[in-house]
Amino acid sequence: MSKQIQDAYIVAAVRTPVARRNGAFRHVRPDDMLAKVLRDVVAKVPGLDVTEIGDVITGCAMPEAEQGMNVARIGLLLAGLPDGVPGITINRFCASGLQAVADAASRIRLGEADVMIAAGTESMSAMPQIMGNKVSLNPEIFARAENLSIAYGMGLTAEKVAQQWKVSREDQDAFAVESHRRACAAIAAGHFADEILPYAVKSYAPGADGTVRITERVVEHDEGPRPDAAADTLARLKPVFAARGSVTAGNSSQMSDGAAAVLLMSEAALKRYDLKPIARFASFAVAGVPPEVMGIGPVEAIPRALARAGVAMADLGWTELNEAFAAQALAVMRQLEMDPAKVNPLGGAIALGHPLGATGAIRTATLVAAMQRDPGLRYGMISMCIGTGMGAAGVIERV
Amino acid sequence: MSRLIIRKVAVLGAGVMGAQIAAHCANADVPVILFDLPAREGPANGVVDKALAGMKKLDPAPFAAKDRAQYVESANYGSDLARLGECDLVIEAIAEKMEWKLDLYAKVAPHLRAGAIFASNTSGLSIEALAAGMPADRRNQFCGIHFFNPPRYMPLVELIPTAATDVALLDGLEAWLVTRLGKSIVRARDTPNFVANRVGVFSILAVLHHTQRLGLAFDEVDLLTGPRIGRPKSATFRTADVVGLDTLVHVLGTMQATLPDDPWCAHFRTPEWLQALIAKGALGQKSKAGIYRKQGKQIQVLDLHLQDYRDSGGEVLPEVEEILKLRNPVEKFAQLAAHPHPQAQFLWSIFRDVFHYCAVHLGDIADNARDIDLAMRWGFGWAQGPFETWQAAGWKAVAEMIRDDIAHGRAMSDVALPAWVFERDGVHAPAGSYSAAEDTLKPRSALPVYQRQLYPDRVFGEAADDRGETLWENAGVRLWRRADQDARIGIVSITSKMHAVGEEVMDGLLEAIARAERELDGLVIWQPAPFAVGANLQQVGEACRAGQFDLLEKMVAKFQRTSMMIKHAQIPVVAAVQGMALGGGCEFVMHAAHRVFALESYVGLVEAGVGLIPAGGGSKEFALQAHNLAQRAAGGDVFPYIQNAFQTIAMATVAKSAQEAIALGFGRAGDDVVFNANEILFAAIHRARALAESAWRPALVNPAVTVAGRNGIATCEMMLVNMAEGGFISAHDYRVAKAAATALCGGEVDTNRRVSEQWILDVERAQFVELLKTEKTQQRIAHMLETGKPLRN
């Protein structure tokens, strides 16, 4: 176990439902989503002196336009937190939300803060092009062959992983069906009820007599899971990224909108507020891999995070492994010999959606809720691959 | 006469025809309400909504642009009949059942606005009988309006008045159909199946009859009755599959029921094999099997000898092929009739019986012979109508051959040819076309709307067109004028084969424009379709083979000079476009001061198909457009506009309508879209005159165009890397597309650097010549010249 001044503990974690891109949150702003989860997470800790919050670290993978201008600071001000509370937006693409949790924990572990909020927010609906509002590549990428893979689309890298790790189309589709099955079962069983706080979406449409018709719809559940997902219908989808490939819209993660927030405290703060924490943030690791096989990133990050936490793979009771693509998730699981039953027990991004920079914080909330439900669950992990070739993993321990 | 105003149209019935008629009105900027029955479940307009959604997937597309569908409102008879009061024209297009139609008329009549026209799209029911279903005071505003499928693409609309129909109203409606919707009109009489279907269905019957009589195979007959005799590629049996065999049988039934006195009535029945197919549910394309079916990629055809399907093939006897290639129709018909082979006998027989049928019925079904000929061209896609075919083949001789065949029992009916046939040398003459009912020659319609058609579709034997006065010409172009229209607006017409642009065309255009600048007020570039199929690849290919790259470089430079001359001439140069305007043709169009597009214009920069990029100023024009558009965008970034152009050029996208051409950037928002292609020259002359009279000035050459530069090229290249790695494009596709990106982005300069137009022209020319030097591009050019199809290498 790595040396640290003190431990950081997770006290509360909440999230919005995750909506499909251009779905229920089509007109919802990502800064509003952030403000909502910040209010919600603070409300989970009655009596908290919000002036004690050392920083609000927010992950966002495309921090521009509606989620630009340091969305963390804007979101916390919109949430009504005091002017004295600072905010910072960080970006490690798909690991941004997890990185936020890790960075918030680090500040506590270093003794620089007693109360921290980590968050993530992302609206993929707000982005007309999924690579951001303005795409501009460096000519140097194309000047040298070894740089070319920087330009690869994520789907193409998933094809490369499928090829190199020999993941068949059938396995990918079956994995996707299982993701939907687990997610639908989890919704039916109410397993997301503790982490999701319903979102009241207001919509403003032209109404009769020149008035604007304002309606409100409360969204309570994740929008992505499909109860009718079946192998034969998935088998009919055409590969999108390679003419003779295996990666389809059906066995890839969904583009989504969503946000989450996690409140962390030092032991001293816990004592002061007389709070019982849910989990201890045990370790975090991030590592690079070749960009053309970015999906394999967790294979490098997970062993490091486990080693730092002093935990064996077998000790993990629950892993939230982001399903960017079935191809890479399966390759990672096989390479690390992970137990499929313990990976994404409630389904993953193929069913639940993947709002890029928010996903890490969202899945932290899912893992924290699972620990609250199950006293027998001791160690859990959140991990994901990261565009341009990285992996991240964070381990938490139920206390 | 006061103007007929049609602000809004209602179409009753959202079936194949109703929905597509509605779509075409929307194409022409006429808002439409499309009605059908209220849905039994779900939203009340479900039936219409489903029809509208279905049309977005049809090919060829009923809508001329994506946004058109929003101008068709859905409605249902249950709750929306009051909205009929908003409409000036109501077209009924429900199923062909008299009692259903009369029922609907009774229901809608009270809601029609005073003065609104109500017209039925029936293809066969009696218009008088339908009119009786309208209140007496509305019958003068009732007529038949018979569109052909698909209504956007088939020119013909038959207008069928009743005795009570208001003449001025009908004239107004005809003018509206001609100019606004771009249709071609035949005034028909209220006889069963009117004109085109009466003759067209008989022609199918004749084919059925002689196919069986001579024991020919269906695929063999389709080879014989397609383009070889000037008819559509789908010929006879494939067309029947597309139309639906049940529909065909229904029409035959109608003919049998309504034409008991027709001398050919005995033939108005369904052959047993056709009945058997229908009994099996093989109704044609819609049931995936009919006379033909598709097994995997193989097309199979029903073989009556085998009583089963076999792979489709068929051959035309070389001797028959030779006869069909004869240019002289007199020889062609004489040889067909004399040749003993069943294929030749078949062809002579189907022509003979249709000639016979048309001659006997001319007096009952049509005002004159021209109407029958044009109806068959416009409604069935025949290159020539039956009477003009006969006349071209030698009227008297053919008449004698028919008489002889009748006498010997070889014709389908023994009824004699009418006496007038033997009293004439033909039916079409400069003074007009023959009317059997009135025994006189009838001139063309005198309606003012036809003054807009300087070169209408002519039938064989009609008076020759006014070719205008030639001012100058060379081997590639003719500069001329129509002094009767405007003596100081010149017309320059490309005269090369397929209007391909070679040296002589460029030289011609440069000289013609120079002359027009000195002597005229404006210039129109016009020639009958196609506008131009692109650069003369033959010349390019030859120079390539000879390794004359310096010469090619000069050729491209001249191309660019011609484009720039078109754009910067001291007089307005208006491009009048119809049909294909591809490659270099498209570049000339882009450089014109103004464009007059026929709706059916097919415009695109397709150079990538032969391994090249637009280098006649086309890439430069898109770079310039991006610069201009970005001026109005926040941030002023040119790249989003470049990205769209890059995709258009890299994928060689061809716009499939005038509206699409404008949307893709080949034209501009203020350009004219003329629905009737025969009117574009008239419109373009008037447009050139209007520009000349309204302070028009030639565009300045921009010395400071903001370009996307190196980052832009790199960002385009990102797309290419992904497509190449994904196996969607070849290495040479990549190279060609990168050259296009380089030209569009103004070369390898800093992003947002300002460069002159000439700099961009130099970049596109250099990229073009480099591509020409590659083996793969040379292979693509050679392949295109040999096969007419692009090579993927």
Q: Is the pLDDT of residue A1 over 50?
A: no
Q: How far apart are CA A101 and CA A118, in angstroms?
A: 5
- Grouping H, G, I as helix, E, B as strand and the rest as coil, residue A33 is helix
Cα–Cα distance, B226 to A42 (Å, whole number): 78
Q: What is the pLDDT of residue B429?
A: 97
Tell me what pLDDT residue B287 has: 87
- Alpha-carbon dihedral angle through residues A234, A239, A241, A243, given to the nearest 10 degrees: 170
Does A152 touch chain B if contact means CB atoms closer than 8 Å?
Answer: yes
* CB of B279 less than 8 A from some CB of A: no
How far is residue B640's CA from residue B630's CA, in Å, rounded to a whole number? 9
pLDDT of residue B1: 54
- Those of residues 222-251 in A touching chain B at CB distance below 8 A are 241-245
Residue B16 above 70 pLDDT? yes
Q: CB distance A156–B725 less than 8 Å?
A: yes
Catalytic residue among A180, A184, A191, A385: A385
C-alpha torsion B543→B544→B546→B550, nearest 10 = 70
What is the rounded CA–CA span in Å between residue B617 and residue B558?
11
* Rounded average pLDDT over B517-526: 98
Are the C-beta atoms of B405 and B351 separated by less than 8 Å? no
Q: CA torsion A267→A272→A273→A276, rounded to 10°?
A: 30
What sign has the CA pseudo-torsion A270, A275, A276, A279?
negative
Find out whether A246 and A159 touch, Cβ atoms under 8 Å: yes
Closest-CA residue in chain B for A151?
A: B718
Which residues of chain B from 735 to 764 reach within 8 Å of chain A, CB to CB?
A: 748, 751
Residue A365 to residue A373: CA distance in whole angstroms:
12
Contacting residues of B for A244, CB less than 8 Å apart: 727
Provide the CATH number for the domain formed by B9-187 in this structure.
Answer: 3.40.50.720
Mean pLDDT for B24-30 is 98
The answer, yes or no, to whether residue B499 has pLDDT greater than 90, is yes
Residue A362 identity: I
Structure tokens, B422: 């033997």
pLDDT at A25 over 90: yes
Tell me: the pLDDT tens digits for B53-104? 999 989 899 999 989 999 999 999 999 999 999 999 999 999 999 999 999 9
Distance CA A158, CA A164 (A): 10
What is the model's pLDDT at position A132?
Answer: 86
Is residue A42's pLDDT more than 90? yes
Q: Which domain holds residue A272?
A: 8-128+253-398
State the Cα–Cα distance between residues B160 and B142, nearest whole angstrom.
9
Interchain CB contacts (distance < 8 Å): A and B: 52
The tokens of A240 are what? 């999108």
SS3 B580: strand
CB contact under 8 A, A241 and B711: no
**CATH number of the domain enclosing A367:** 3.40.47.10
- A181 assigned to some structural domain: no
Helical (H) or strand (E) element with B471: strand B469-473
The interface predicted TM-score (ipTM) is 0.94
Predicted model pTM:
0.94
The β-bridge partners of A92 are A94
> Scanning the structure block, which residue is given the tokens 């690849």?
B537
Report the C-alpha gap between A32 and A25 in whole angstroms: 11
B639 touches chain A (CB under 8 A): yes
In whole angstroms, what separates CA B79 from the centre of its chain? 38
DSSP string spanning B332-396? HHHHHHH--SHHHHHHHHHHHHHHHHHHHHHHHH-SSHHHHHHHHHHHH--SS-HHHHHHHTTHH
Amino acid in position B136: A
- Assign A4 a pLDDT band (cuts: 50, 70, 90): low
**φ, ψ of residue A316 in degrees (nearest 5):** -75, 125
**Lookup: tokens for B643:** 């990205």
Q: Out of A134, A156, A244, whose CB is closest to B722?
A: A156
* CB within 8 Å: B751 and A136: yes
Q: Report how far residue B13's alpha carbon sits from residue B37's, in angstroms, rounded to the nearest whole number.
A: 8
Is A321 exposed, middle or buried, given 0-12, 13-18 or 19+ CB atoms closer than 10 A? buried
Q: Are B738 and B720 in contact (CB under 8 A)?
A: yes
Please give the structure tokens belonging to residue A293.
């096989």
Is A377 a domain residue?
yes
pLDDT in tens, B713-739: 999 999 999 999 999 999 999 999 999
Domain count of the fold of chain A:
1
Segment B176-195 shows an average pLDDT of 97
* Every domain range in chain B assigned CATH 1.10.1040.50: 196-442
Instruction: Tell me the chain B residues in contact with residue A139 when contact means C-beta distances shorter than 8 Å.
Output: 710-711, 713-714, 748
β strands within chain A, DSSP E: 8-15, 19-20, 53-59, 87-90, 115-123, 199-206, 212-219, 256-266, 279-288, 316-321, 379-386, 390-398
Tell me the β-bridge partners of B294.
Answer: B299
* Cβ of residue B726 closer than 8 Å to a chain A Cβ: yes
Q: How far apart are CA B473 and CA B492, in angstroms?
A: 9
Q: Give A275's DSSP letter.
A: -
Residues of B in contact with A136 (CB under 8 A): 639, 711-712, 714-715, 751
Residue that the structure tokens 């385009």 belong to: B716
Query: How far is the C-alpha of B746 from the C-alpha of B307, rounded, in Å?
Result: 65
Task: Tell me if A74 is assigned to some domain.
Answer: yes
CA–CA separation, B12 and B76 (whole Å):
9
pLDDT tens profile B752-771: 999 999 999 999 999 999 99
End-to-end CA distance of chain A: give it in Å, rounded.
Answer: 17
Compare CB distances from A244 to B721, B722, B727 and report the shortest one's residue.
B727
Q: 3-state DSSP call for residue A217?
A: strand
Report, at the CATH architecture level, how domain B469-777 is classified. Answer: Alpha-Beta Complex (3.90)
Residue A304 lies inside a defined structural domain of this protein: yes
As beta bridge partners, residue A10 has: A264, A279
> Parallel, antiparallel, or unpaired: how do β-strands B477-481 and B89-92 relate?
unpaired
Residue in A closest to B715 by C-alpha? A137
State the residue for tokens 């008991």: B260
Q: Which of A332, A372, A371 is nearest to A348 (CA)?
A: A332
Question: What DSSP state is assigned to residue B112?
Answer: S
Q: Is A222 a residue whose pLDDT tops 60?
A: yes
Mean of pLDDT over chain B: 96
Asked if B726 and A135 come within 8 Å (Cβ–Cβ), the reply is no
Q: Where in chain B is the domain with CATH 3.90.226.10?
A: 469-777
Is A354 assigned a catalytic role? yes
Check CB contact of A137 with chain B, cutoff 8 Å. Answer: yes
Q: Which of A136, A138, A245 sits opposite B726 (nearest CB)?
A: A245
Report CA Rg, chain B.
Answer: 28
Q: What is the mean pLDDT of residues B30-42?
A: 97
Task: Say if B715 is an interface residue toward chain A (CB within 8 Å).
Answer: yes
Q: Which residue is closest to A247 within chain B, CA to CA?
A: B726
Chain B interface includes A130 (CB < 8 A): no
A102 is a domain residue: yes
- Backbone φ and ψ of B648, nearest 5°: -60, -45
Q: Please, what CATH class does the domain formed by B196-442 belong to?
A: mainly alpha
* Pair of tokens at residue B780: 């693509």
Q: What is the 3-state secondary structure (H, E, C) of B619-668?
A: HHHHHHHHHHHHHCCHHHCCHHHHHHHHHHHHCCCEECCHHHHHHCCCCC
Alpha-carbon distance A234 to B354, whole Å?
54
A258, part of any domain: yes
Q: pLDDT, tens digit, for every residue of B542-573?
A: 999 999 999 999 999 999 999 999 999 999 99
Compute φ and ψ for B455, nearest 5 degrees: -135, 75
Could you say which DSSP state residue B267 is in? G
Helix pair angle (B731-744, B618-631), 10° resolution: 50
